[in-house]
Amino acid sequence: MRVLGIETSCDETGVAVYDSRHGLLGHTVYSQIPLHSGFGGVVPELASRDHVRKLAPMVDALLTEVQSTARDIDAVAYTAGPGLAGALLVGAAFARSLAWAWDVPALGIHHMEGHLLAPMLEDPAPTFPFVALLVSGGHTQLVQVADVGAYELLGESVDDAAGEAFDKTAKLLGLGYPGGPALAALSRHGDPARFRFPRPMTGRPGLDFSFSGLKTFALTTLQQQSEQTPPSQREKLHADIARAFEDAVVDTLAIKCRRAIEQTGSRALVMSGGVSANQALRARVDGLMQELGGRAYYPRAELCTDNGAMIAYAGWQRLRAGQHDDLRFDIQPRWSLQELGSGG
């Protein structure tokens, strides 16, 4: 069975073909970052228009690349939410039209379910049950996963997502948008002993997160230190702040992961979403799970951020679970993972 996956929830156009016997046959991602970078963030209307331009040629090229034709595709899966309403509508309308024309089922997929299942595209793949840490530009969540569609939210950010905090702090340091990877690169040159940032919400029980204070802490540190720092030392100051910020985020995430693992008795921690590409976080989580006698799983870097492969894979899992959407369709710009059932 072959599923075409289409992702358009934000500023990446992703398309992929997943084959239930042979795995991921191919995927391409077109990033709109250059389109939005001059604005310091995503401009929704520009995002929608660019998805319109890119989708058809990308699907066409991908089918050729994986030596498939429309006749080989058994279902079309697309991101139905959460995300930008206009961008979601473009993907939904396009996917639905293809499915209608090809006479195959169309499946609306939850974007975070896509992220959550993405590590299952790797070898070795995690098996259910597991605890998932979803760390992306819009979400920071710990989820207990019993099976496809059986998701219990253990904790989440009460304000900024971890990726959002990375991006905002990177902006303060003049690193452009999206700044997560740039901040992580700069932090490697930073002195871990110079500043210590707080580890928010770790001093009390619970699995929720709060990251907006860290960005403010970074701003205050930058303002205070900049006055006493000669221009030749500014780059060093920025690297030291980047290091203190990254250490605080990684430490905070690791503390809550340990709690979630201890609370649930799980032996597997699955990490996904853009921030899970962060090397310091991966190293920390690997060490933690080794210490706890379990294992950490995460996707290859290109499948951490938005992509069509995770949507194609989630689509196949949903098809297998018996999901059949009728011809009416709706997008859900706000949509909780817990509202998902096991299919049907």
Site residues (CB under 6 A) for ligand ATP? 10, 111, 115, 136-139, 163, 166-167, 178-181, 184, 273-275, 277-278, 305-306
Nearest distance in Å: CB 173, ligand ATP: 13
Q: Is 136 in the site for Mg ion (CB under 5 A)?
A: yes
Q: Of ligand ATP, Mg ion, none, which one does residue 308 interact with (CB within 5 to 8 Å by kind)?
A: none
- C-beta of 41 vs 341, nearer to ligand ATP: 41
- How many angstroms separate the CA atoms of 57 and 52, rounded? 10
Minimum distance from CB of 134 to ligand ATP (Å)?
Answer: 7
In the complex, minimum distance from the CB of residue 274 to Mg ion, in angstroms, rounded to a whole number: 6
Q: How far is CA 1 from CA 73, 84, 323, in A?
A: 8, 30, 15
**Cα separation, 107 vs 127, whole angstroms:** 23
User: Which residue lies nearer to ligand ATP by CB, 104 or 187?
Assistant: 187
Smallest separation (angstroms) from ligand ATP to the CB of 179: 6
Closest Cα partner for 336 from 112, 147, 116?
A: 112
The contacts of residue 113 (CB under 8 Å, 6+ apart) are: 149, 151, 314, 337, 340
Q: Where are the alpha helices (DSSP H) in the chain?
A: 33-37, 44-65, 85-102, 111-117, 162-172, 180-187, 212-228, 234-264, 279-291, 309-320
CB closer to Mg ion, 24 vs 303:
303
* Least separation in angstroms between CB 178 and Mg ion: 11
CB of 244 to ligand ATP, least distance (A): 15
Does the protein bind Mg ion through residue 306 (CB under 5 A)? yes
CB closer to ligand ATP out of 137 and 315: 137
Strands 140-147 and 75-81 come out as unpaired
Which residue number, 66 or 175, has a Cβ lying nearer to ligand ATP? 175
Residue, CB closest to ligand ATP = 274
Report the Cα 3 to chain-centroid distance in Å.
21
- Using CB positions, name the residue nearest to Mg ion: 306
* CA nearest neighbour of 78 among 64, 60, 99: 99
**Does 11 contact Mg ion by CB under 5 A?**
no
Q: Which is nearer to ligand ATP, 74 or 159 (CB)?
A: 159
Best CA proximity match to 54, nearest among 38, 36, 31: 31
Number of residues that this document lists for the chain: 344
Binding site for Mg ion (CB under 5 A): 136, 306
